[in-house]
Amino acid sequence: MAEGEHSLDLLTIEGGRPLKGDISISGSKNAALPILIATLLTDEPCGVKNVPSLDDIEAVIGLLVFLGKNVVRQRDRLDITAGPTLYGEAPYELVRKMRASVVVMGPLLARLGKVKVSLPGGCAIGGRPVNIHLEGFKALGASIQLEEGYVTAEANRLQGTSFTLDFASVGATENLMMAASLARGTTLLIGAAKEPEITDLADFLNHMGARITGAGTDTLTIEGVERLHGTEHEVIPDRIETGTYMIAAAITRGDLDLHPARPEHLRELIAKLGQAGVSVDQDNGHLRVKGVKDLHPVDAETAVHPGFPTDLQAPWMALMSLARGVSHIAERVFENRFMHVPELQRMGARIQVKGPHAAVEGVDSLSGAEVMVSDLRAGAALVLAGLAAEGKTVIHRVYHLDRGYEHLERKLSAVGARIRRSQE
């Protein structure tokens, strides 16, 4: 849905009830998005399973169809086949809704030799530049033009090269890995992102016939091939959804069993929850989290993987708002990712922000209030705070949450939350 068409739904939560029971984890949004876009690299049919039903996924399906693909969804499986023509232009009204669309550049440049994509523009959490993406395409031999908010990249045939990323950007690593898969010769991406979603994309590309090694390390080696073929793939579970529900168990002093889960994708969060006094047990694909009465304050500083995930910074701050003492949280990945702070303060949290630092002085309890979601993970923090708070919390602009949490209120109600959706 384009901006403004969003259903202005509300979530109303009666807080103070411990969550108990099982929650099933959906497929990873941030793995599924680049994997669906990678199907642009072949005209052969691809089948992708464990794809969550989220607004961001619907947006990327719309973009793929616009670019010439046919997409059929059957429950959590998408079948993607090629139409008669592959188009090389991604317009503003499609890209601005979901900035990860910029990752179509790599595949389209590699397949068509020319691509025109609207610059994604910023969002609530930052300017979201794409300079590293563009520097990488230039290094692969493309010429880049920027005009009227669009970027055009052209190259007869991309030429393998060695490129060092200034920052381990997830999107830039995905874009360049896909472009290099069809380049002539071998490409080294140095300082590449190591997130599990990168590894899942590399696995998908290798099953398509690409030759990528080093996924999960900071140096990717991509040996270009002539063409890629169709394949089947199952997307990894969503580690940020998993982390969010782990924190939900902790903040409500509940007891949740999350499955399927990949503890190896969440080592840093598991360690921090342990330091806070929360018990986390892992047992073949299950994560069992039990909250405690007295939470210890634990500092957190976000970093690229395997550091503390920036997408769990806001949820962690909600949890630390109820710890017995002061914790320090630093946001090192995005330049403006504290929009949840004023909303948490309205609920009684004591937080002092100075630049990228937030000092959180835990309080005995939060109180329900009317709050507004600014971005996806800030929204998650407000839901978590509402679940723990005394009284009623009304959450506005829920559409942000629908981008990244599949069946949110259904999953929470099933484990005892009093949460319901209504219209503004």
User: What residues are annotated to the active site?
Assistant: 123
Q: Compare residues 28 and 181 and give the one whose CB is closer to ligand EPZ.
A: 28
Structure tokens at 82: 């090629």
Count of CA atoms in the C-beta half-sphere (13 A) of 232: 2
Q: Compare residues 200 and 311 and give the one whose CB is closer to ligand EPZ.
A: 311
Q: Is 100 in the site for ligand EPZ (CB under 6 A)?
A: yes
Contact 246, 239 (CB under 8 A): no
Residue nearest to ligand EPZ (CB): 171
Q: How far is CA 249 from CA 13, 107, 199, 258, 323, in A?
A: 16, 40, 28, 10, 14
Q: Compare residues 167 and 350 and give the one whose CB is closer to ligand EPZ.
A: 167
- Contacting residue, 156, 167, 213, 283, with ligand EPZ by CB under 6 A: 167
Contact 229, 268 (CB under 8 A): no
The letter for the amino acid at 86 is L
Region of 67-75, 164-172, 348-356, 410-418 interacting with ligand EPZ (CB under 6 A) = 164-172
Q: Compare residues 32 and 369 and give the one whose CB is closer to ligand EPZ.
A: 32
Q: Compare residues 316 and 334 and give the one whose CB is closer to ligand EPZ.
A: 334
Cβ-count burial 206-229 (b if 16+ within 10 Å, e if not): bebbbebebbeeeebbbebbeebe
Helix (H) or strand (E) holding 326: strand 326-330
Q: Is 180 in the site for ligand EPZ (CB under 6 A)?
A: no
Quote the CA–CA distance of 249 and 276 in Å, as a whole number: 13
Q: Compare residues 178 and 376 and give the one whose CB is closer to ligand EPZ.
A: 376
Region of 13-21, 40-48, 170-178, 316-324 interacting with ligand EPZ (CB under 6 A) = 170-178
Region of 4-12, 72-80, 169-177, 224-232 interacting with ligand EPZ (CB under 6 A) = 169-177
Q: Compare residues 128 and 407 and give the one whose CB is closer to ligand EPZ.
A: 128
Q: Compare residues 253 and 338 and give the one whose CB is closer to ligand EPZ.
A: 338
Residues that bind ligand EPZ (rule: CB under 6 A) add up to a total of: 22
- Contacting residue, 32, 33, 183, 189, with ligand EPZ by CB under 6 A: 33
The letter for the amino acid at 51 is V
Beta carbon of residue 226, minimum distance to ligand EPZ (angstroms, whole number): 28
- With CA atoms as reference, report the closest residue to 246 among 282, 297, 212, 220: 282
- Contacting residue, 376, 382, 383, 398, with ligand EPZ by CB under 6 A: 376
The letter for the amino acid at 194 is K
Q: Please name the residues in contact with 144: beta carbons below 8 A apart, sequence gap of 6 or more.
A: 134, 137, 138, 151, 152, 153
The interface mask with ligand EPZ, positions 51-90, x = CB under 6 A, is ----------------------------------------
Q: Is 220 in the site for ligand EPZ (CB under 6 A)?
A: no
Helix ranges (H only) for 256-330 are: 267-275, 313-320
Q: Is 30 in the site for ligand EPZ (CB under 6 A)?
A: yes
Beta carbon of residue 365, minimum distance to ligand EPZ (angstroms, whole number): 28
- Contacting residue, 32, 115, 153, 170, with ligand EPZ by CB under 6 A: 170
Task: Write out the binding residues for ligand EPZ, residues 124-143 only, by CB under 6 A.
Answer: 126, 128-133
Q: Please name the residues in contact with 196: beta carbons below 8 A apart, sequence gap of 6 or more.
A: 28, 31, 216, 236, 239, 262, 265, 305
| DSSP string covering 70-108 | EEEEETTEEEEEE-S----EE-HHHHTT-GGGGGGHHHH
Q: Is 187 in the site for ligand EPZ (CB under 6 A)?
A: no
Contact 244, 269 (CB under 8 A): no
The interface mask with ligand EPZ, positions 286-325, x = CB under 6 A, is ------------------------xx--------------
Quote the CA–CA distance of 21 and 416 in Å, as a whole number: 8
- With CA atoms as reference, report the closest residue to 32 among 132, 208, 153, 174: 174
Task: Write out the binding residues for ligand EPZ, residues 323-352 only, by CB under 6 A.
Answer: 333-334
Beta carbon of residue 100, minimum distance to ligand EPZ (angstroms, whole number): 4
Instruction: State the residues that interact with ligand EPZ by CB under 6 A.
Output: 30, 33, 100, 126, 128-133, 167, 169-172, 310-311, 333-334, 376-377, 404
